[in-house]
Structure 1
């Protein structure tokens, strides 16, 4: 049986590295990513695997972020559900709000994953961004 926590951690590390080729096989074809409303995506939304991989590849071009980090906090697993609390930091190539190029965007995130048959089938993100203000 696949270790759901190890699978989710591997996926987060692939996303962190902008590595779509490493992330793709960890996701089921019917994967759904739900992003709750936040400062970046005010209306929230739902994306399938193809859209997620396209976005990850675009991110890998490093036109918006030169790098990113997920500082993982608590990870709670119950069967095939894994909940991860994390701090996300993104190093900006271009200004965002009052954050300058070279600055760091920060979000506090709760990610809820569903795993089935050794693949992630659902991810729901609650992203709370810090103000886009220079410190």
Structure 2
């Protein structure tokens, strides 16, 4: 396995565990995160390094999700880019739409990572959430 793919896998595993310290070690101080429009973030958005860490810190409080899991599928490396297809499952700590505490919110993912100097420099997510709206 290449160093870039190993880096991305370590990063995703750290995010899954809400491990702020490890994430900080793996990302570039100038990292940006772009999320394309989806059910959670309808307008999409772009976060800088500080916002990325603040979001992970909030998630780590486990007020909305009690846990999360990434199931990685195909991983493709092209130069300084790594593309990952996968599935994300978040176990709800609060009700949302038709989801109750303990239910899983599910998203099908395509994540693209840019690597610079052995760190993750940017991430772009295409998150497709399964319907969780109230019936």
Q: TM-score, normalised by structure 1?
A: 0.96
Runs of 4+ displaced beyond 6 Å: none
Deviations 1:18-69 (A, max 9, x none): 0011101111111010000000000000001111111101111100001000
Judged with a 3 Å threshold, the aligned counterparts in structure 2 of structure 1 residues 133 and 44 are, in CA distance, closer, same or farther, namely closer
- After TM superposition, the structure 1 = structure 2 runs for residues 108-123 of structure 1, keeping only pairs within 5 Å, are 108-123=108-123
In structure 2, what is the equivalent of residue 60 of structure 1? 60
1:129 aligns with 2:129: yes
In structure 1, what is the equivalent of residue 36 of structure 2? 36
- After TM superposition, the structure 1 = structure 2 runs for residues 10-89 of structure 1, keeping only pairs within 5 Å, are 10-89=10-89
The total of aligned residue pairs comes to: 133
Q: TM-score, normalised by structure 2?
A: 0.96
- How many angstroms does 1:79 deviate by? 1.2
Deviations 1:83-134 (A, max 9, x none): 0001000000101111111110000000000001001111000000000058
**Ranges in structure 1 where 5+ consecutive residues have no aligned partner:** none
- What is the alpha-carbon root mean square deviation over aligned residues? 1.2
